[in-house]
Amino acid sequence: MKNFAGKICFITGGASGLGLGQAKVFAKAGMKVAIGDIRADALHKAVSEIIDYAGCTAADILAIPFDLTDRKQFAKAADTIESVFGGPPHLFIQTAGVNSFGPAEASTFDDFDWVVGVCFDGVVNGMVTFVPRILRAYGGTPGNPREEFHIVNVASVGGLESGPDTAPYSAAKAAVINLSFSYADNMPAYGGHASVLCPWNINSNIGSCELYRPENLRNTGYNVNEKTVAMLRTVHATGQDPIDLAEVMKKGIEEDRVLIMPFHDEKDSLDWLENENNKLHLYMLPEKERLEKTKYASSDPTRIFEFYELKDGVEPFGLARADNDYIAANRKKGG
């Protein structure tokens, strides 16, 4: 996709973080931008920020409060975009996501249902809702669409590597990557393209997402409290700037790349992928040899936050609840 001006964009999770950065970048490129988010109160502020950054008008931005795990609400969002902007999005970006940290073996059904429900099932809901509408409106023949269109799902580098302390998240993001590859293989037949963006740490509000976990899914096996949320905020504050990452993604879209990594230099992307591929080889080795080649043993809970200073009022994330009787002592709070 090379031309953005005058076209329609829809971004899930657009009220903050990377989604908001994407909205700013593509609004500045001349697109009419719809942002969807479950946090209705955050959408109003986001619209003002987009207008200020892009220099566009209120008529160019549409805020849609909705829950992406609800298929009826997703369909209603699609109807609203078509009603207000005159058609489905030419650029559809699924950015919304949640995460929580704790040992894989401490995960509960609620942990999986919440994280996988948003990060993978929500993406499926978006693809099944929007792709048919996009193809009917803009699809054509190979290399010759009626209008340019591009679909981007946001996964994570966590979907390309193991997640001993982010099992639901890493599993969901791995599924998003594979799903995106499947659509990417098929979209050129209609003249369009699909991509998957795999960010690393982003300066965003994802560290606070536990505050928005549904009441019916709060039976977590992880140690989650105000202090661990404070620690996560510290971690994410060091992450990549959302607008910078959105610009990297925009370039990837312009070049019709399927896999978009968060680096400006292509060599950095290739080096990172080669390193991850080498890690996969370790799983084929006998355990003793594998552990000798692994920098951190899987039983070491400090490896995911050792680079961050523990300040007053915060505590390490990534541990199990203290009352979890089957988790090893060094893998849980108070152990």
Q: Would you list the DSSP string of 170-216?
A: HHHHHHHHHHHHHHHHHGGGGT-EEEEE---SBSSSGGGGGGG--GG
Pairing mode, if any, of strands 193-197 and 150-154? parallel
Give the range among 35-39, 46-50, 64-68, 293-297 with minimum mean pLDDT: 293-297
Which two three-digit tokens encode residue 213? Answer: 């976990």
Structural domains of the chain, with CATH = 8-264 (3.40.50.720)
Among residues 232, 229, 236, the alpha carbon closest in space to that of 203 is found at 236
pLDDT > 90: what percent of the chain? 75
Given a cut of 90, is residue 279 above it in pLDDT?
Answer: no
Q: What is the pLDDT of residue 313?
A: 61
**CA 299/CA 284 separation, integer angstroms:** 19
Q: Region 37-43: what's the mean pLDDT?
A: 95
Q: How many CB atoms lie within 10 A of CB 271?
A: 12
Helices (H), ranges, 58-107: 71-85
Residue ranges of E strands in 66-127: 91-94
Instruction: Kindly tell me the sign of the dihedral angle through the C-alpha atoms of 281, 287, 289, 293.
Output: positive
Q: Return the bridge partners of 92, or none.
A: 10, 151
For residue range 243-263, list pLDDT tens digits in order.
999 999 999 999 999 999 999
Is residue 203 within 8 Å of residue 236, measured between CB atoms?
yes
pLDDT digits (tens, 9 = 90+) for 197-253: 999 999 988 888 998 899 999 999 999 998 888 888 888 888 999 999 999 999 999
298 has a pLDDT exceeding 50: no
Helix/strand/coil for 316: coil
| Contacts with 222 (C-beta within 8 Å, 6 or more apart), sequence order | 100, 101, 102, 103, 106, 107, 111, 318, 319, 320, 321
Written as one letter, the residue type at 154 is: V
> Mean of the pLDDT values across residues 272-284?
86
Per-residue pLDDT, 250 = 98
Distance CA 13, CA 21 (A): 10
Does the annotation count 169 as an active-site position? yes
Residue 305 has pLDDT above 50, yes or no: no
CA distances from residue 69 to 37, 96, 197, 229, 250 in whole angstroms, order as listed: 11, 11, 21, 24, 27
Catalytic entry in 138, 169, 183, 222: 169
Over residues 71-130, the pLDDT tens digits come to 999 999 999 999 999 999 999 999 999 999 999 999 999 999 999 999 999 999 999 999
Tell whether the model's pLDDT for residue 159 goes beyond 90: yes
Structure confidence at residue 334 as a pLDDT band (50, 70, 90):
low
| Distance in Å from the first CA to the final CA of the chain | 52
In this predicted structure, the answer to whether residue 41 has a pLDDT above a threshold of 60 is yes
- 32 forms beta bridges with 8
pLDDT tens-digit readout, 308-322: 455 666 677 889 999
